[in-house]
Structure 1
């Protein structure tokens, strides 16, 4: 049903496809925002939320080694320190409740064990606010039951990492 990339996920609403995960989340927020919108009402805050979701730096950590891994680790920590600044002392990026930013970033928490192991650094020590936020998110049943266990993600990513097409042992 994805007319362009022929990929999933695809949301079918009123017989029309909406494609790409983040686009689907934004569509849902706009189509059914009468109760509790995911994005702030202020245009600047909405733009900031959309910009923050572009942060990640995870792929570079798990697909590199040696000096490249050191650089990827540095970039990862710089990115997550910026995210810590955005989070501040709020329980969630959106303030008092989980919103768009949290929904788009929380899946990366399942990769933290892998990153900690491969990157040889403790995310908890470097980004305590992010880890505390992620644990708060994981206390929500709707989040906890859909995200995979970190050790299962570690095993899967380890298998991918060993494949020749990544060129990493």
Structure 2
């Protein structure tokens, strides 16, 4: 795929962030070249504070000096702005379904996994683990026998779901049982995750595993100290 030149296009992100990765992957699928600006969220740049003064977080896409924020919104903007690979379905009902499942993963799924991973309250952990299991079962049933959530090709839901395929197993490794349910317990979802990670376009945009492992391990140490 020939890369399209887009003068002045900038992405403010954090390499280890699944939210930033979504946008990088969408741009890669479209073949759109951009300037990547690595942010330090402990010392936020003036550019980030200027263009996302409300939330002060990444990712932020700057297109012709106009900021677009929130990863799901940015992906739709990319899909509508540049030709080439179609990320969302063109048929309205299928497009609405894709939005629903993307939001389900981005909000319900990720939030439940994250809060369960870092709790040390046994009752909350047990309840959270059950909820994570039910969420993964729901996604397993939605996937059915499809290669990807949208069918035969990588789409909107899969882009958001890279968190489950890449970040989630590392988090599970760091936190360990019984705090989380392994994705391997869900064969269709697990096969989908491996198929997703085997795609060159995904592999080329992922951060190093060791960086994610280190970040999660540091967070676990902070959480342990906070409970003592």
Q: Shorter-chain TM-score: what band?
A: 0.7 to 0.9
User: Contact between 1:138 and 1:144, CA under 8 Å: does it hold in 2?
Assistant: yes
1:51 matches 2:100: yes
Change (3 A) 1:94 1:124: same
1:69 matches 2:125: yes
User: Contact between 2:139 and 2:189, CA under 8 Å: does it hold in 1?
Assistant: yes
Structure 2 portions without partners, runs of 5+: 1-50
Moved over 6 A (4+): none
- 2:151 pairs, out of 95, 105, 117, with 95
| CA deviation string 1:7-50 (max 9, x = no partner) | 22111112211111111111101112x33321112222222211
Measured in 1, the distance between the counterparts of 2:160 and 2:217 equals: 23
Measured in 2, the distance between the counterparts of 1:17 and 1:165 equals: 38
- Give secondary structure in 2 for the equivalent of 1:4: coil
Aligned-pair distance for 1:160?
0.6
TM-score (norm 1): 0.85
Change (3 A) 1:106 1:164: closer
- Give secondary structure in 2 for the equivalent of 1:25: helix
Aligned-pair distance for 1:94?
0.8
1:37 matches 2:109: no
RMSD: 2.3
- Give secondary structure in 2 for the equivalent of 1:41: coil
Structure 1 portions without partners, runs of 5+: none
Measured in 1, the distance between the counterparts of 2:52 and 2:198 equals: 33
